[in-house]
Homo-oligomer: A and B are copies of this chain.
Amino acid sequence: MAQLIDALFIKHFDNQLLNQRNDQALFTPPAGRLVISTDGHVISPLFFPGGDIGSLAVHGTINDVAMSGAKPLYLAAGFILEEGLPLADLEKIVISMAQASNKACVPIITGDTKVVERGKGDGVFITTTGIGVVADDIDISSERAEAGCKILVSGSLGDHGIAIMAGRENLQFETAIVSDSAALHGLVADMLAVAPNAIRCLRDPTRGGLATVLNELAQQSGVGMVIEEAKIPVKAEVKAACEILGLDPLFVANEGKLVCICEAAAAERLLNAMRQHPLGQDAAMIGEVITDTLCFVQMTTAFGGRRMVDWPVGEQLPRIC
């Protein structure tokens, strides 16, 4: 069994570094600062509209690396398999990982597999770790938002979370909602090309959605934020599904979107660059950073009022990534 699994990985993740077959992979990074990010993936169900745990595990970690402004270089993958997982399912997942990694040009160069007894896991969990290199002049970090900065999002919110929930609840919507799972490093590279120094913060609003990311950034930067509901892109079918499920799209997970806080002077330039990228066509400027020692995130509603955008209470959608 162990040999079967090894053979599966070697076959589909085929690359020179992995093929060294040591317990570690050796590589020579370009000079400069590196970033490392690690993310466990426990999504349920394993297969969903728009992807599966394999592609998600590749995209999620590439995005965490890219949100520092880094160019992702390599991935490592640790699998925890539950006894009884059909080998055909595992192969499907591995092929999907390989395709996502090839498309993104970020190879999986080392890995590990553990097997636990039936009932001690849930099919498969994948922990991916990514390494990237950051150009010298880039300084993107969660404490760099300042009053006057603009808040951009790269596209419509809530697609991933609603796709998963709809699958779980066996809801049938007229238009099938598909996860937005995608690797964002190309979009980030295009943004950096037009305004390398004006990007202050980048985050992918995964678990907890936009509301959580904005609250985290507000807190870490010691600022307030005001966003406008009317400007936040949410697909009509996602809005409808949220109403049925009693969810707020601001709290719903995304896997192919980013939030950018940038200097005001560069906002239009960045927005244009984003809209020219396939993953940023619906990019929008949704608000701005203000001075607020209480670090509140507020929203001007479509009706003209203002409400607080709070931290999520509890986890709205467990095992969404």
Contacts and interface: CB of A to CB of B under 8 A. Distances in A.
Interface of A: 2, 20-29, 31-42, 44, 64-65, 67-68, 70, 74, 76-80, 109-117, 119-122, 125, 127, 129-132, 134, 141-142, 203-204, 220, 315, 318-319, 321
A29 B36 CA distance: 11
A65 B37 CA distance: 17
A114 to B, nearest CB: 4
Contacts of A35: 24-27
A127 B24 contact: no
A78 B114 CA distance: 14
B40 A34 contact: no
A89 B97 CA distance: 34
Given A122-B120, A318-B115, A110 B31 contact: no
A260 to B, nearest CB: 14
Give the most central of A24, A26, A33: most B CB within 10 Å: A24
B33 A31 contact: no
* A-B pairs, 8 with minimum CB distance: A24-B37, A127-B127, A38-B76, A129-B129, A78-B127, A120-B122, A40-B78, A40-B114
Nearest to A122: B120
B112 A39 contact: yes
A142 B22 contact: yes
A112 B2 CA distance: 27
B110 A38 contact: yes
